[in-house]
Chains A and B, each alone.
Chain A
């Protein structure tokens, strides 16, 4: 009998998703917030089950729970928690209980949790689809809004296309190695096939095509430049809680899958094949994302482009593999810490945008002017999130950027320099919003912002996370360093 206890958080969340859908169907009462609280309860229970489930392996290595998986599961559950809590306004606009909205969000989270705890390509692919297919529906959820349907269609077409490309890459990996398990065995088989195939060239063409297709397929999910064109449209059109969830959880899931495939399966090709490729993509993401974000007038679109840039910073940590020296902060660990920091700040920034749109029905940055006059609290919170995203100490985003740059400094110094320069551009467009809120008071016509309870919970928790993890980042970092010790660098 397999030890299904390991799968407990996922199984509970899956059951909870079904339960929420049933409750949503069976009640026809008009909008109240109880469904949100029921969903949040499920997420919290699932999080509490993670320590009970423990560590181990199931079904060969098809399902495994290690510290790496647990770290990402906490990020996914956190993002889902904040996204669900900030969807109260969306629910009141929809004018009835929508259990399937929360059900789909939970199912997508379950997919992400499976995605991060597998080292086998079939399971990885199936859970990737379990992650994205509910997100297609969620992006198109505002059936009455044209922009939302358009976002759904764009996301669907590019998501399906990218998974076909990814799948072709996986099929080539399978053909080269004869196995779908990502472990040392796979590496050995690839090395053998290379030695057989290679006498002159330095790169096996089939493996190179496979790696390019894997990067392209996952790059679409991550909105990596040059595969990022769908992201701003989808982020703008989709309902804002879904946008927040997409920009954090779905990216974290893509990073988790990318790291699992490339670290566990293909480490030995780091320096020749995928290291330089991803370094160039990281530089492109930082430059394109930050420069385009300057031009945006819509805050959702601005955050979309800034999230494209953040993927670039993440990838600095991704390509900077540690050499020997274990135990201290290294590239992969800094990447995980960056995601953790990004989760709080980005979810918080989107929650502020939701709070603003709830009262004033606008996502335009110019409408934010003089916000601090009547609602200082919201303005201060949005300032904290934006400064954390920009990387200002002592907020958590500063340590995220600092460790990523530190890890990349030895091998990829040019990349770090691009990162620092583009951070300055980023500070400009974040500070622009802050300037609108604090220094253009005279023209302000804004009333005091009213919040509902779940949204207030989101804002308070994300502010606490941003500040506390910034002042005391050591436990998270230690956990991340222990987590990446499983990979054979």
Chain B
């Protein structure tokens, strides 16, 4: 089902993630390559939205801007009740640390650390008490079905297991917003399916707001809405039927 994005857009105050008129261009010498050309986006609290589109459409750049990793050239961005304009790097890092959880395409686990220690990293960065951090990390590992592999190292895990560890790491500090960049791109079809099931279950049960970049239409059913980007613009917004997941999952 396709809807007009303008009529369905929530207000900035009601949104966990909100962007208006976002422009971004990359510069290499005298060459300027526009990537985002006036993107408007509003994601309600607890909503799971996907950013889809062909390569070069600006999905990852938009995700980076929403994740305070890149700055927009123009436009306003608000994430987890924080206006990003004018934030200096330490405050942007603090926002990433406290309010945003990241899931990366290639997991980006730290190879010297055990599974448990990898999951604990965000809590270590927040200077959480070690015992509490350990308990919380173990709970999350239990939730992703890897409690018995807490002492293993990432090199001993399959790609699907690594992504589950990455999901646990993204959720461990209980951030209100989860950003995921192609979380199934490095996985086979079955693992991708399992990972998305898990991702959807864990984010939905805690009321997290999730923004997922993907170009895999097979997983669209896990989204509440899908924003299709092309040429640096949102060209279409697709509202998923409320029972889409239940139907496709065969429940």
B is a partner of A = no
